[in-house]
Amino acid sequence: MKKQVLITGGTGYIGSHTAVEFIEAGYEVLIIDNLSNSKIDSLDGIEKITGTKPEFAQFDLTDKLKLNDFFEAHPNIEAIIHFAAYKAVGESVAKPMMYYQNNLGSLMNLLEMTKKYKTKSFVFSSSCTVYGEPEELPVKENSPVQEATSPYGNTKQIAEEIIRDFMKVEQDLKSIALRYFNPVGAHESAEIGELPLGVPNNLVPFITQTAIGIRKELSVFGFDYDTPDGTCIRDYIHVVDLAKAHVIATERLLNNKNKSNYEMFNLGTGTGNSVLEVIKSFEKMSKQKLNYKLVDRRPGDVVKVYSDTEFANNELGWKTEKNLDDMMLSAWNWENNLKNK
């Protein structure tokens, strides 16, 4: 019998890619998503790639009664991979309470269910935003956590604290927080990829939508930062590399290979690329000239952050396989496939 895993936010960008990797690794995948920032079509994409359509339930995780009913109907869930959250830095600055209520309320409800229904393994989608504006680069797992630069980043910091405190009390449960850097790109089939509803908050979908003519031009926020070309630096990671790490982390917990019942790992490439470097890579791989302009800085943005991946590489036995050019080409193929649909 296949092991059953629950992926919350599983129709979203990272969730759908992770669902593919779990199905291909032989798991039965269940998905809960409220479709607030994703489309149900991604289930068709998952099915086209894997030949399997995951069981899907549409509701909000802040609805504890519905969540309880779901767990009651699915008593054999062995692991939870928790993605579902609001994730736009700018929006969180404008609507902080919405972020705290949703991101933390849903997490607390889920943790209660892990205890009640004895689902022992919990993988949390964290973020490099927990490091704030880092004092030292590259960022290690034990680097000091600075004050968050946005309410979104703060929800990730608080969420990690909630999980850590919960795991201190619930010694028979175990959790891994995966702190990812900047996921980009799409599955090589171009059947699933990043499809934000409305105007994109992330760089790469804004690049591809500008190149294909959906957006008039791309604004590059900040050109006077203390970086080689004046634009922000991030550690961009291919979403498929990231998705694979979730399967490895879950199997670490299921096979009792974890060293403590709460662990955390950075997921990145270990290389920082500036916004202008990303644009140049895209132009090279797509053979499209991009219409962009340099504009003032945006509140909440960190200047530069990239990861030290040694701990994840050695402890998880995981490392990235795809480079920036691979990321840009796959994102462009996905955008073209969307247009053809």
CA angle 231–235–239, rounded 5-degree value: 125
DSSP assignments along 132-145, one per residue: -S-SSSSBPTTSPP
DSSP assignments along 160-185, one per residue: HHHHHHHHHH-TT-EEEEEEE-EEE-
Strand spans (E) along 227-278: 233-234, 236-238, 262-267, 273-274
For the question of residue 152 being annotated catalytic, the response is: yes
Determine which helix (DSSP H) or strand (DSSP E) holds 258, and give its type and residue range.
Answer: none
Q: Comparing C-alpha atoms, which of 123, 100, 101 is closest to residue 111?
A: 123
152, 225, 236, 306: the catalytic one is 152
Tokens matching residue 58: 């549409």
**SS3 labels along 9-72:** CCCCHHHHHHHHHHHHCCCEEEEECCCCCCCCHHHHHHHHHHCCCCEEECCCCCCHHHHHHHHH
Neighbours of 68 (CB within 10 A): 15
Residue where the block lists tokens 């490895």: 248
At 60, give phi and psi (nearest 5°): -95, 135
Tokens matching residue 283: 């132009």
Q: Comparing C-alpha atoms, which of 294, 279, 209, 202 is closest to residue 239?
A: 202
CA 300 – CA 41 distance, rounded (Å): 32
Contact partners, residue 207, CB within 8 Å, separation at least 6: 218, 278, 279, 282, 290, 331
Q: Find residue 237's DSSP bridge partners.
A: 183
Residues taking part in catalysis: 152
